[in-house]
Amino acid sequence: MNITRDIFDDVMVPNYAPSAVIPVRGKGSRVWDQKDNEYIDFAGGIAVNCLGHCHPALVEALNEQGQKIWHLSNVMTNEPALRLAKKLVDATFADKVYFANSGAEANEAALKLARRWALENFGEQKSQIISFKQGFHGRTFFTVTVGGQAAYSDGFGPKPGAIEHAIYNDLASLEALISDNTCAVMLEPIQGEGGIIAPTDEFIKGVRALCDKHNALMIFDEVQSGVGRTGHLYAYMGLGVTPDILTTAKALGGGFPIGAMLTTTDIAKHLKVGTHGSTYGGNPLACAVAEAAFDTVNTPEVLSGVAQREALFKTKLAEINAKHNVFSDIRGLGLLVGAELNETYTGRAKDFLNASMEQGLMTLVAGASVIRFAPSLVIPLADIEAGLERFEKAVAAIVNA
């Protein structure tokens, strides 16, 4: 069969509008398409491919587990799931782990747990969930409603209730909404889809204090920020606060679908047998690959290397901006970097993405006016420099058009 982009329009539901480029193989931070054109990957599958493409440790883990056992229902447990859960617990604040298939499912579990915890400890009136405008927590109906972007949740009928949205980095807006009837406050420790917005120290610590004051759980959505992305294993470790529930996915499997919810024993006990589940959650193949990714990332060499790469990105982007004057801000934590377009180019982030593809570079957007970079955590410095040379050519093409 001759596989072309046109087949997508014939057989796929039209909720995506993929590029005409169809990648067929990758190695490290390089990808090749059907015509053998080479691209440098600064997108990372939206912060998923934390070790690039076909990393030897992940390939070995997949091949080894593929010769053993692929799937078991949760009527039984399995060794890869138990090893990975133990490593997650040992490395974080958490005592207990729940495995799912994606970030949305991990967040769904976190929200259901928070509601059940509040109901059983305080009663039906403690049901309010507060999250933040421009936040993103997944595409299930519960998580997309908690997410603070109405464009993603409108048009599907009545939404789940008792959900409010405050303004990120505006503690007063949260204080105006929170009460003793709040069961949880959910937030990203750095907003991804919302424009690569990092929290101020006052804000993030203030959220923790307000949660404590009102006996509300603090849920950190670390689906995008976790597993080394900010230079810490999890972003909370660099913020001076500890959540009650944390969700992780994306980079957790290094490209293999897996998600997890982490929490304490006292909170976890409210998900009794039969209250929640997932057919594929804790799948042996997924957990084996995720364990290899976790072991590779959770080392001083990889985590310290993120800061070095962040500095190179920001320095080179500033140099590009000095020449072409296209950005109003260059920001982010670790290898989740955002370049916000200035007034001249506002709303044109997709144009920069498309121009980058033409120069052999894969990037992302975070809203209409922010270009997002989320490459491999171990991307060679030479690939960063080469990729940003391609990016500068893309910028120049737009500026000089």
Which residue in the list 136, 203, 256, 294 is annotated as catalytic? 136
221 is in an annotated binding site: yes
Q: Give the DSSP H/E element, type plus range, for residue 190.
A: none
361: β partners: 40
* 221 catalytically annotated: yes
- Continuous segment of H or E residues that includes residue 370: strand 370-373
Q: Would you say 220 is a known binding-site residue? A: no
The response to whether 224 counts as a known ligand-binding position is yes
Q: Is 145 annotated as a binding residue?
A: no
CB 258 within 8 A of CB 45: no
- Find residue 330's DSSP bridge partners: 339
Cα separation of 282 and 237, whole Å? 25
To the query of whether residue 250 is one of the catalytic residues in this protein, the response is yes
Contact 173, 180 (CB under 8 A): no
Q: Which helix (H) or strand (E) holds 30?
A: strand 30-33
Q: Which of 126, 203, 220, 221 is catalytic?
A: 221
Residues 6 or more apart whose CB falls under 8 angstroms from that of 194 comprise 132, 133, 134, 135, 136, 148, 149, 168, 188, 366, 367
202 is in an annotated binding site: no
Pick the catalytic residue: 142, 203, 244, 250? 250
Closest by CA to 168, choosing from 144, 188, 139, is 188
Q: Are 219 and 234 in contact (CB under 8 A)?
A: no
Instruction: Give the dihedral sign, CA 32/38/40/43.
Output: negative
- Whether the CA torsion 388, 389, 390, 396 is positive or negative: it is positive
136 an active-site residue?
yes
130 sits in which H/E element:
strand 128-132
Asked if 162 contacts 128 with a C-beta cutoff of 8 angstroms, the reply is yes
CA 28, CA 320: separation in Å to the nearest integer?
Answer: 25
200 is in an annotated binding site: no
Please, what is the Cα angle at 379 between 54 and 342, to 5 degrees? 125
According to the annotation, is 104 in a ligand binding site?
A: yes
360 annotated ligand binder? no
Consult the annotation and say whether 304 binds a ligand. no
Contact 385, 308 (CB under 8 A): no
| Residue 329 is assigned to a ligand binding site | no
What residues form the annotated binding site for N(2)-acetyl-L-ornithine?
139, 278
Give binding residues as ranges. Answer: 103-104, 136, 139, 221-224, 278-279
Q: Where is the binding site for pyridoxal 5'-phosphate, in residues?
A: 103-104, 136, 221-224, 279
Q: Report the catalytic residues.
A: 136, 221, 250
